[in-house]
Structure 1
Amino acid sequence: MIFFKKKEILLKDFFPEGFIDIHSHLLPGIDDGAKDLENSIQLISKMSSYGIKNFITTPHVLGDVYPNSSTLIKNKLEELRTELKKRCINDIYINAAAEYMMDEQFSKLLEKNDILTLKDNYILVEMSYFSAPMNLYDIIFEIQLKGYKPILAHPERYKFYHNDFQQYYKLKKAGCLFQLNLLSLTEQYGKGVQKITDKLLKEGLYDFVGTDTHHTNHLELLKKIGNKKTFEKINELLKSNSNTFK
């Protein structure tokens, strides 16, 4: 256990060596994250200054809005890796998976086994902020039937579960792992999300964390988690990322 004398902690001391961010939007120009290659490098450089140097970045795969194919994602990853090398940025490890919306398109990709995993059989999934899919538990079952382990991105942000907390236990029982958005520890998504985040933490329902970085504003806000109290809450989850995805 690391002990800090001061209440405030610099992020470069907050994240353990070898920490792997499993949720971000750093590939250039394919979703609502990095706008272009220059922006990708800017975001990665800022995160590197925080001590985050290992990434499995996860562009959206979302119906007709972000119909990113596995091939496109891999090509964009190589483009970014080439640019990092060109700029002699050699201390960054970056791979790519995807953040899959659990919709009809995802079901088709699942059927074809056309899935980019975070590592081994872990896949990052999300659902609409308005409501869960009608066939949510069928989809979760199909994911596992195909041999994958679903990690649900930012469960605290699905407000339709806030007044029915038992649904979180039901999801866990169904085999869903939970990934906390680090900015949910702040008021970035509202006090309601912050409150549910604390409850999910106290109940020990989270498995992993991610920054869900889209832009520089997110990275400025991330500084707010740099304190002893927050570190003590999520230290084991930070380690879980490192141990599972190294």
Structure 2
Amino acid sequence: MLFFFKKYFVADLLHDAVDMHNHVLPAIDDGSPDIDTTGEMLDLYAQLGFSKIYATPHTMEDYYSNDVKSISDCYKKTIDALKNHEHASLLSQPASEYMMDASFEKLLDQGNYMTLPDEHLLFEFSYFQKPIQAEELIFKMQQLDLKPILAHPERYRYLKIQDIIDLKNRGCKLQLNLLSLSGHYGKDAFEKSKNLLQNGKFDLVATDAHKPAHLEKIKELMVKKSIHNDLKRLLDVQSDVFK
């Protein structure tokens, strides 16, 4: 009977993996507060086996009013400050995680945004309610030849499974947070993450790490064999997309 309950370390899947959503750049949002913490996070990424990290600091009206210049400047200063760090080469060109708020459409109209490889644009919803113009803005991104990625849909309690699938059917890619599989964000996110993963609805997976403790928790994360297999398939595809 014990065989059926055996679990496997997620970290075993992360050799040569790419992280496309995290908050590792220092003092630019609610992620790493300083360069020393960023260095510590890079060490943990290396221990986990990651080969590349695309930093994605928040862009959020009234909270983190970042733009292309502020993020680019922070990235350049970080690379310079870490020039002697063993794992500085893990950091690739940054993008951003955009809140779909009142300023989002203006950013699209002005072209004032940063994308991940192959014109992927990472965005998030408020945790309180779905944006009224969500579908319209997803369509607008597609009209701009962008490939929209909704960050951690499993974490929005107001979205049911079918709501999330409907967004995917509109051409929106879905990104899973690894820590959702640990129960880190609560039972609702845990159950939805398993359901969507096992039914092949996620397109991408990321750490969304804001601090070293998040990466330490991923080191210890264990899942059932079926989930392990689903994650492996997802990570294999992701490595090709974000080389």
TM-score by length of 2: 0.92
Counterpart of 2:196 in structure 1: which amino acid? L
After the TM superposition, list the runs of 4 or more consecutive aligned residues in structure 1 that deviate by more than 4 angstroms. none
1:148 to 146, 149, 162: 146
Secondary structure class of the residue paired with 1:123: strand
Deviation at 1:135, TM superposition (A): 1.0
Counterpart of 1:29 in structure 2: which amino acid? A
Counterpart of 2:51 in structure 1: which amino acid? K
| 2:191 is equivalent to residue 195 of structure 1 | yes
Deviation at 1:14, TM superposition (A): 2.4
- Separation in structure 2 between the aligned mates of residue 109 and residue 227 of structure 1, nearest angstrom: 39
Deviation at 1:104, TM superposition (A): 1.9
Counterpart of 1:222 in structure 2: which amino acid? I
- Separation in structure 1 between the aligned mates of residue 192 and residue 8 of structure 2, nearest angstrom: 24
Secondary structure class of the residue paired with 2:93: strand
TM-score by length of 1: 0.91
Query: What is the match of residue 3 of structure 1?
Result: none
Trace 1:155-234 onto structure 2 (pairs within 5 A): 155-162=153-160, 165-227=161-223, 229=225, 230-234=227-231
Deviation at 1:183, TM superposition (A): 0.3
| 2:238 is equivalent to residue 241 of structure 1 | yes
- Separation in structure 2 between the aligned mates of residue 91 and residue 97 of structure 1, nearest angstrom: 16
Gaps of 5+ in 1: 1-5
Query: What is the match of residue 111 of structure 1?
Result: 109
1:23 to 16, 21, 24: 21
Deviation at 1:86, TM superposition (A): 2.7
Gaps of 5+ in 2: 1-5
Residues 165-212 of structure 1, C-alpha deviation per residue, up to 9 Å, x if partnerless?
A: 221221011110000000001110111111111110122110000000
Deviation at 1:40, TM superposition (A): 0.8
- Separation in structure 1 between the aligned mates of residue 182 and residue 191 of structure 2, nearest angstrom: 10
RMSD: 1.7
Counterpart of 1:217 in structure 2: which amino acid? A
Q: In the comparison of the two structures, how many residue pairs are matched?
A: 237
Secondary structure class of the residue paired with 1:150: strand
Secondary structure class of the residue paired with 2:190: helix
Moved more, 142-151 or 165-174: 165-174
Secondary structure class of the residue paired with 1:134: coil
Deviation at 1:92, TM superposition (A): 2.1
Task: Indicate the percent of aligned positions where both proteins have the same amino acid.
Answer: 38
